[in-house]
Chain A
């Protein structure tokens, strides 16, 4: 099992979710986060005083998937979230030792 984490542009989140659902992903954890990469921040001006706001709002998606589906899931996220402009985000994959479904106690693949 692998944990796929994707940090993407907020306006792409709906499209990414639809594409993943069509593929068969049944659930995910989503959070609104902020951070920066090469995109850096932006400038805001209040009463003439300029502030450099470093953090940019992003959406973080976390999905635990079966070994066999990893490449497909990563591919779908990258293809759907891509705009080709700076600040599109990142996707990374980590190994997962075990998963338990809280309601039933099912373990690992059965819990996905």
Chain B
């Protein structure tokens, strides 16, 4: 066991965990004031639920030995994680029986858990303002189980790291997806598209101005995502080494270049560089550099990032042309950015990086390019089809979408019985129900309630 590696991976896991609350702010600021709490709750709900499922059987499905001809890992192999505990070496100041590379298996469990959480949370951006919370939670659990855990197995389970037989994309296809362009972003993006189609358009879509209610929240969210993403990418080295440093730098520079690319498109096309454009460009760059961060040079990362910013800025307009209400552009940013970043490895990979592979532009021919394309298309297709089926099944059984009247009134009040902002100096015209706040109501309240026939 290496204590330096372990410290870095544990710290990275905490960084990545913060990305989900960051995403909640990023998404929450973009919706209207009447739906910000529900938007944030979809992220927090995923955070709560997936952390439990991950410990129960999720990790095992992703990193257990193949079952079902390689479709997924065995859900029973590490069920509940007890098998990964150990006291060996406790007298030497550490305790770990099971190692994944140079770190305790449970550090790897922690790091991979937060990837599963944010992938589920990412989908929620496509279905803002109109999704009932209970069915969203049901969807989250089913989707993680039959879509994310298997796909994470394909992409992240290397033979021999945790169990003998890992996933086909990582070990047979040899596509390079360093931190999850396929498993996280293409996966969530395709799922978002499928759910946006199942749930349909919001009331007033294309007619009412559905502008962001709080852009500073969006900027804070984008900042937290960028910060956490250093754990996401550089932590994926699973070691505090040169590769982690290399990846840190490509992650920084691609993101900066993408923000510039997005702003340039806006300046030329719309006349103004916007704060929403800067925040969106940051996320588009982070998405695109996620699969490619270990295989492109710092200069290559600038190209990958800048092109991601331009491509995604153009792609977010597609929904208006094609007519699907992907409310916060999960498709335009995560699917398009994830596809671009994954394919970009085939073009921009350089053998001078730790990935050690040349792409088309570096004299490596098309060998890596087709591997990347196959991996990307496999995840896209699997995720889209299964998500569509899960979504439809939920809609036809327990119902998925809020009724139209409640949607217009505002989902926060209807689904959570809360309002995000209270600016009313006169208390909003309400009165505290004292029996629930202070126990027994004060005598004066009792008298008044009695007189009015109120049963507080």
Residues of A within 8 A of B (CB): 44-53
Contact = CB atoms under 8 A, between A and B. Distances in A.
A47 B211 CA distance: 10
Task: Describe B's contact surface by its main secondary structure.
Answer: loop
B320 A46 contact: no
A41 to B, nearest CB: 10
Interface residues of B, number: 18
Contact of A45 (B270, B320, B329, B332): B270
Contacts of B404: none
Contact of A47 (B209, B271, B272, B280): B280
B317 A48 contact: yes
Which one of A46, A47, A49, A51 has the greatest number of beta carbons of chain B within 10 Å?
A: A47
Interface in B272-289: 272, 274, 276-277, 280
Contacts of A52: 209
Nearest to B333: A47
Q: Which 6 A-B pairs have the closest CB atoms?
A: A51-B209, A45-B270, A47-B316, A48-B317, A46-B211, A46-B276
Interface string B201-213: 0000000010110
B190 interface: no
Contacts of B277: 47
B209 A45 contact: no
Interface in B315-344: 316-317, 320, 329, 332
Which one of A44, A48, A52 has the greatest number of beta carbons of chain B within 10 Å?
A: A48
B372 to A, nearest CB: 27
Contacts of B266: 45, 48
B269 interface: yes
Nearest to B209: A51
B107 interface: no
Nearest to A51: B209
B17 interface: no
Interface in B292-310: none
Contacts of B274: 45-46
A44 B274 CA distance: 10
B195 to A, nearest CB: 19
Contacts of B332: 47
